[in-house]
Amino acid sequence: MTQDELKALVGQAALHYVTPGDIVGVGTGSTVNKFIEALAGIKDQIPGAVSSSEASTARLKALGIPVFEANAVGELSVYIDGADEIDALGHMIKGGGAALTREKIVAAQSRRFVCIADESKLVKVLGAFPLPVEVIPMATARIARQFAQMGGLAQVRQKDGAPLVTDNGQHILDVTGLQIADPLVFESQVNQWPGVVTVGVFAHQKASVCLLGTPGGLKTLEF
């Protein structure tokens, strides 16, 4: 199976976790795009979605799925999203698509986080994927120095020759060279640094379930 087919497999499988009648939380990325396509097939069974990015909002609306503001609805039964890395306990690195802040907000508003990923995302220790951190632009240099003290190299993510600007009007630092042995402690620590909007470690908002696409078929990990 190609990677695209593995993404389609888990995107389709995630429908099983959508409760008819409930608004569903929707993440961001190429795997979630497969889920959104599948969701369109059952759109008559749900009131709509809360989205984690402008990109996903546009896709949902284009397929006729209503999008609600997070503030307009209460707790969601499920949030479906991809990951850049996931470990054996359901801790993740996210933010490869620069949507980590809204992703964490919608995940926090949801009872269950269903992660959909192909098996290349499963790792023993988080950190080989450059860690995305959304930051207030005036703090980037100081935050980069703080990562350097941990052995990390932080670089401002670029787009079209200029710093990428997130949906929230901020910048992204991508940090290489880290080995995140204790994701819960790491997330709490970095979140406290002035100027950090969101760190892309999802340990406090970890996955409840991971649907993993493997060449042998669908594998379900429960955490």
Tell me how far apart the alpha carbons of residues 57 and 46 are, in angstroms, rounded to a whole number. 16
Q: Which two tokens stand for residue 106?
A: 């919608």
Judged by CB, which is closer to ligand 5RP: 48, or 134? 134
Residue 215 main-chain phi, psi, to 5 deg: -55, -25
103 to 122: interface string for ligand 5RP, x by CB under 6 A: x-------------------
Size of the site for ligand 5RP (CB under 6 A): 17
Q: Pick from 10, 13, 98, 209: which binds ligand 5RP (CB under 6 A)? A: 98
Q: Of 37, 69, 75, 103, which one is the catalytic site residue?
A: 103
CA angle 71, 74, 79 (to 5 degrees): 95
Q: Which two tokens stand for residue 111?
A: 């009872």
Alpha helices for 85-196 (secondary structure H): 100-108, 140-149, 183-191
53 to 82: interface string for ligand 5RP, x by CB under 6 A: ----------------------------xx
Judged by CB, which is closer to ligand 5RP: 29, or 183? 29
Check if the beta carbon of residue 41 is closer than 8 Å to that of residue 11: no
Q: Pick from 11, 13, 17, 28: which binds ligand 5RP (CB under 6 A)? A: 28
Judged by CB, which is closer to ligand 5RP: 141, or 173? 173
Three state DSSP letters for 151-171: CCEEEECEECCEECCCCCCCE
DSSP state of 46: S
Tell me how far apart the alpha carbons of residues 150 and 155 are, in angstroms, rounded to a whole number. 15
Judged by CB, which is closer to ligand 5RP: 144, or 201? 201
Q: Does 31 bind ligand 5RP (CB under 6 A)?
A: yes
CB of 207 to ligand 5RP, least distance (A): 11
Q: Could you confirm whether 103 is annotated as catalytic?
A: yes
Binding site for ligand 5RP (CB under 6 A): 27-31, 81-84, 94-100, 103
The catalytic residues are 103
